[in-house]
Amino acid sequence: MSTLGGVDLGSDIYKEDEFGMSRVHSVMERSRERTLLIWEQEEGPQPFDLVGFSNRGVLKKSQLDALKALADTVDSTITLTYNGTSENVRFRHWDSPVIEASPLGGRETITNNDIYQNVRIKLTEV
């Protein structure tokens, strides 16, 4: 089970491209003599998305409302518990919208128990 700021995300939300993130920034160039020159340095906090699909990782409106309340707080750092580990994260407000989801079935009156699919939550490590 995953939680974000105390909001239960269930067990089907996952980090997209979790192993594609690299903590090393590297540049390679060749000198005039064609010798390889490589510079490397450690990268800072890594951005990532928590995602769900149309049939897995769905959330209720009440969960999305609680996440939106967390996202509406300026300069907030929240705890993500994912896959048995905890880390401090923040929403990527510079990459809006920070929370995306589409209702399973559109209707005029949506209750707290209505289901949303295709969830995407944009976060970054702190």
Residue boundaries of the structural domains of the chain: 2-125
Q: What average pLDDT score do residues 64-86 get?
A: 96
Alpha-carbon distance values, 109 to 61, 106, 112 (Å):
12, 9, 10
Mean pLDDT, residues 21-32: 91
CA distances from 66 to 14, 19, 71, 123 (A): 19, 28, 9, 16
Choose among 79, 65, 81, 104: nearest CA to 10. 81
Give pTM, 2 decimals: 0.86
Displacement of CA 102 from its chain's centroid (Å): 17
* pLDDT tens, residue by residue, 100-124: 999 988 778 889 999 999 999 999 9
How high is the pLDDT of residue 18? 78
Q: How confident is the model at residue 55 (pLDDT cuts 50, 70, 90)?
A: confident
Q: Is the pLDDT of residue 85 over 80?
A: yes
